[in-house]
């Protein structure tokens, strides 16, 4: 009986360690993506591209985001940051959202198959910051 309890305890500890490592990796991934966005915005090409994305985003994705809002349970009106990694052609490669909630997850799904104008280079991170209306 003691051996079984020890095995269960060891298993639970291992699960907790793995879960905390998984969370840390997500946090690091967000931090790395934000650092890449900041670096991109420090260049003239990055600033121009940011303006271009600002003009492109609403017509392409606002209808999908409205649909997400209607299909998701009500959440608070906290801002949403979507960190989007684009390839050289502007195709979305990865979308990270913060914070994690049903609306934000729906927004991530809406962007995952997205396409933007070609960025200054491949593996290019952008931040799409939204402030929901109250």
Per the prediction, the chain carries an average pLDDT of: 80
Name the DSSP class of 89: T
Residue 19 has pLDDT above 80, yes or no: no
Q: What does the pLDDT look like over 27-49, one tens digit per residue?
A: 899 999 999 999 999 999 999 99
CA 114 → CA 8, 102, 123, distances in Å? 45, 19, 15
**pLDDT value of residue 77:** 67
**pLDDT value of residue 1:** 45
The full set of domain ranges for the chain reads 2-130
CA distance 81 to 99: 8
Q: Which of 47, 37, 59 is nearest to 129 (CA)?
A: 37
């Amino acid at each position: 009986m003691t051996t079984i309890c020890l095995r269960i305890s060891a298993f639970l500890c291992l699960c907790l360690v793995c879960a905390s490592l998984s969370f840390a990796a997500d946090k690091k991934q967000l931090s790395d993506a934000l650092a890449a966005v900041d670096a991109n915005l420090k260049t003239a090409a990055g600033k121009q591209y940011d303006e271009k994305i600002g003009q492109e985003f609403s017509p392409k994705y606002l209808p999908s985001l409205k649909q997400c809002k209607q299909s998701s349970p009500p959440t608070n009106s906290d801002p949403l940051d979507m960190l989007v990694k684009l390839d050289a052609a502007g195709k979305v490669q990865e979308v990270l959202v913060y914070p994690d909630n049903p609306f934000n997850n729906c927004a991530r799904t809406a962007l995952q198959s997205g396409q933007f104008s070609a960025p200054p280079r491949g593996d290019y991170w952008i931040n799409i910051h939204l402030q929901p209306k109250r």
